[in-house]
């Protein structure tokens, strides 16, 4: 049976069946100590990110393995423009753990190794996400089994990458799409089997597996003006507060920043959100920046002007309180973007969602962005 939902923006993430500590904590602690020593010796201890290019705020991009593997121009562009290069899909549950006991780390390894070999950093996305749940997890019937699967998954993946990734999107998109009508949390297999406590459980497992990793709650639609977005921001703050009250580490909130031409960035709300996080000792990250544009004229200049205005508004709102921890674009070049597959322009004109065009030429808004990031 589904969990009963809290109305609108309130949710007790420890509600219901009680929060139990992971039974494998002791085993991990020993592994963690050994791994931690190894990471320190290798000089890879997880610290706050610094910029390879000397920018005060690191800039990066997420890349899908196939494009990364097959396109040398793309790899060169990543090195030219990014401080951080991260796997877009390859560390999602279904990709990395498609069957019980079967792990597929090679594609993620290739991207992470490329980043580190070239003096860049990387980060992990994402342990818990409704959009990447393998069939075998969907088939789990009992609470006990679901907890064991979630904890084993996070421990194994987090432990494997300890010292190599700055941090992780531990939970991604757990907030309901529209909290006013759906309750605070999204209806997922994890919510159904474990209740809201799957959130603290995930953070706790991640923290035990890699105490140095920056652990992030990541979500979309946290940037805009309107009641739905206010509620979503409130829920994010509520989750963070409850985790911290329970002494469960959470270090950042990622605003995905899939921006839409036609929506208004709420700069004041972003300031207030950032301030509230900062007062709890939690950072703000921009984690999936790109621009969905159905509205401006189709020519390149109009599209880029609309995107540039939105990105400037976002930066103004985010930086109004202080600099974010990092900014990551969801892809780097218009050559490869999920938006063309999922939300293309209705007029059929090619979209221009990312900082580089299809020929790897930077848009004017990349210069604006870099300039703002370098000012810190
Ligand atoms: O790798 C295969 C390739 O071998 C095959 O030929 C091709 C045929 O369609 O598919 C390729 O896999 C696709 C993969 O992207 C790599 O491009 C999958 O079908 C496709 O489902 C997958 O979509 C990703 C989507 O998440 C679902 O995992 C998008 O790239 C990725 O941008 C998107 O990212 C999400 C974030 O995780 C969370 N926030 C929203 C964001 C956009 O939806």
Q: What CA–CA distance (Å, rounded) separates 307 from 81?
A: 19
Site to substitute for ligand 1 among 64, 175, 354, most atoms within 8 A of C-beta = 64
Q: What is the pLDDT of residue 13?
A: 86
Q: What is the pLDDT of residue 15?
A: 75
Q: Answer yes or no: is the C-beta of 88 below 6 A from any ligand 1 atom.
A: yes
Annotated catalytic residue: which of 90, 147, 288, 325? Answer: 288
Quick one: which atom of ligand 1 is closest to the CA of 95? 28
> What b/e readout covers 280-304, taking b as 16+ CB neighbours within 10 angstroms?
eebbbbbbbbbbbbeebeeeeebbb
Residue minimizing CA distance to atom 2 of ligand 1: 66
- 288 catalytic residue (yes or no): yes
pLDDT given at position 213: 98
Give the pLDDT confidence of 348-375 residue by residue, as tens digits.
999 999 999 999 999 999 999 999 999 9
Predicted local distance difference test score (pLDDT) of residue 20: 61
- Ligand 1: does its nearest atom lie under 6 Å from the Cβ of 338? yes
Ligand 1 atom nearest to 66, measured from its CA: 1
Give the model's pLDDT for residue 193. Answer: 97
Is the distance from the beta carbon of residue 287 to the nearest atom of ligand 1 less than 6 Å? no
Kindly give the number of the ligand 1 atom that is closest to the alpha carbon of 94. Answer: 28
- What torsion, rounded to 10 degrees, do the Cα atoms 44, 45, 48, 54 define? -30
Quote the pLDDT of residue 121: 98
Is 99 an annotated catalytic residue?
no
Angle, helix 25-41 to helix 198-209, in steps of 10 degrees:
40
Question: Which of 338, 339, 342 has most ligand 1 atoms within 8 Å of its beta carbon, as the pocket-test mutant?
Answer: 338
pTM, entire model: 0.91
Cα–Cα distances (Å) from 129 to 42, 90, 105, 217, in that order, read 31, 13, 18, 11
C-beta of 64 in contact with ligand 1 (< 6 A): yes
Question: Which pLDDT does position 31 carry in this prediction?
Answer: 37
Is residue 235 packed enough to be buried (19+ CB in 10 Å), middle (13-18) or exposed (0-12)?
Answer: buried
- Residue 219 to residue 240: CA distance in whole angstroms: 13
* Residue from 335, 172, 329, 333 nearest 259 by CA: 329
Q: What is the DSSP letter of 62?
A: E
Query: Residue 196: its pLDDT value, please?
Result: 97
Residues with pLDDT less than 70, the chain: 1-8, 16-55
Q: For ligand 1, say whether the CB of 337 is within 6 Å of any of its atoms.
A: no
CB 307 within 8 A of CB 267: no
Q: In this structure, are residues 86 and 109 in contact, taking their beta carbons and an 8 Å threshold?
A: no
Q: Which of 90, 173, 223, 325 is catalytic?
A: 173
315 membership: H or E segment, kind and range? helix 300-319
Compute the distance from residue 66 Cα to the ligand 1 centre, in Å: 10
* The predicted structure's pLDDT at residue 51: 43
């Amino acid at each position: 049976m589904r969990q009963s939902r809290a109305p609108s923006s309130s949710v007790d993430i420890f509600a219901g069946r009680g929060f139990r500590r992971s039974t494998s904590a002791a085993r991990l602690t020993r592994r963690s100590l050994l791994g931690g020593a190894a990471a320190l010796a290798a000089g890879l201890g997880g610290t706050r990110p610094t910029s390879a290019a000397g920018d005060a705020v690191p800039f990066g991009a997420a890349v899908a393995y196939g494009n990364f593997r097959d396109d040398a121009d793309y790899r060169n562009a990543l090195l030219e423009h990014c401080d951080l290069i991260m796997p877009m899909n390859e560390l999602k549950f279904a990709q990395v753990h498609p069957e019980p006991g079967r792990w597929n780390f090679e594609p993620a390894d290739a991207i992470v190794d490329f980043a580190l070999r070239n003096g860049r950093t990387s980060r992990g996305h994402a342990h818990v996400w409704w959009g990447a749940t393998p069939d075998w997890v969907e088939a789990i019937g009992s609470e006990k089994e679901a907890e064991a699967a979630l904890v084993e998954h996070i421990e194994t993946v987090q432990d494997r990458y300890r010292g190599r990734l700055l941090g992780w999107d531990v939970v991604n998109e757990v907030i309901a799409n529209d909290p006013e009508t759906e309750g605070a949390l999204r209806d997922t297999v994890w919510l159904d089997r474990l209740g809201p406590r799957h959130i603290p459980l995930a953070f706790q497992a991640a923290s035990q597996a890699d105490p140095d990793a920056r652990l992030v709650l990541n979500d979309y639609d946290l940037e805009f003006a309107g009641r739905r977005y206010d509620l979503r921001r409130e829920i994010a703050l509520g989750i963070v507060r409850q985790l911290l009250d329970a002494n469960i580490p959470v270090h950042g909130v990622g605003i995905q920043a899939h921006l839409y031409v036609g929506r208004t960035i709420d700069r004041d709300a972003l300031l207030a959100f950032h301030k509230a996080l900062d007062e709890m000792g939690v950072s703000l990250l921009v984690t999936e920046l790109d621009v969905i544009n159905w509205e401006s004229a189709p020519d390149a200049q109009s599209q880029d002007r609309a995107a540039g205005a939105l990105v400037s508004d976002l930066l103004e709102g985010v930086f109004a309180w202080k600099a974010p921890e990092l900014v990551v674009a969801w892809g780097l070049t218009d050559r490869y973007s999920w938006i063309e597959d999922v939300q293309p322009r209705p007029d059929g004109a090619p979209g221009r969602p990312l900082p580089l065009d299809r020929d790897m030429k930077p848009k004017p808004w990349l210069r604006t962005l870099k300039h703002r990031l370098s000012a810190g």
